[in-house]
Amino acid sequence: MNKRIFVSFALAFTLLLSGGFVNTGKAEAADWSERGSIWTTYYHSGYFSNYVYQRTFQPSLSSPRTILAGVSAKSSASGSFKVELQRWNGSSWYTYRTKYATKNGSTSLTFYDVASGSYRMKFTNIGSTRVNYTFWVKQ
């Protein structure tokens, strides 16, 4: 009986210690919003090393349909990362348009004359260095 209890505690202790060192590969993030008189701006802050998807959204303006967005990034590496504007076609996401954002600084991600529908953005790192970012989109 005592041996089973000891083994259970040892296993629980081992799992407790190893849990702090496991990398799940998920991006860490924080969300918040600011409500203005015309629209609400949604913010998403976090980091990624490979790729990360942003929340789904609709075009910000209806005539002409425009997506008003941007990203501010900081990294120890120079260069850029790929930003894919993806559109939902009813059964899957596909890349609608592509831009490149700087890893150190701010980049406008405004897209003009887009079709109506649901969109999201995918950030893909070009390289392996971690990128810290704050993304915003007006709705």
Domain assignment present for residue 11? The answer is: no
- The stretch 122-132 carries a mean pLDDT of 94
- Residue closest to 68 by CA, chosen among 55, 78, 57: 57
Domain count, the chain: 1
Of 132, 15, 28, the closest CA to residue 76 belongs to 132
The answer to whether position 52 is within a domain reads: yes
Cα distances from 7 to residues 1, 10, 14, in angstroms, run 10, 5, 10
The H-assigned helical ranges of the chain are 2-19
Residue 104 lies in a domain: yes
CATH assignment of the domain containing 40: 2.60.120.380
Average pLDDT over residues 74-92: 95
Question: What is the model's pLDDT at position 3?
Answer: 58
Domain assignment of residue 123, yes or no: yes
- Structural domain contains residue 124: yes
Q: Is residue 10 part of a domain?
A: no
Q: Which domain holds residue 34?
A: 23-138
Residue 92 lies inside a defined structural domain of this protein: yes
Query: How high is the pLDDT of residue 1?
Result: 57
List of E strands, 28-118: 29-35, 40-48, 51-53, 61-62, 65-67, 69-75, 80-88, 93-102, 105-108, 111-112
Q: What is the mean pLDDT of residues 29-52?
A: 89
What's the confidence (pLDDT) of residue 63? Answer: 75
In a domain, 94, yes or no: yes
Res 139: pLDDT = 84
Q: Tell me which of 10-24, 46-60, 75-89, 102-116 is least confident.
A: 10-24
pTM: 0.75
pLDDT at 24 over 50: no
**One-letter amino acid for residue 15 of the chain:** L
The average pLDDT across 87-103 equals: 96
Task: Provide the pLDDT for residue 93.
Answer: 96
- Predicted local confidence at residue 29, as pLDDT: 59
Percent pLDDT > 70 in the chain is: 79
Residue-level pLDDT at 137: 93
- Looking at residue 30, its pLDDT comes to 76
User: Which residue type, as a one-letter code, is found at position 76?
Assistant: S
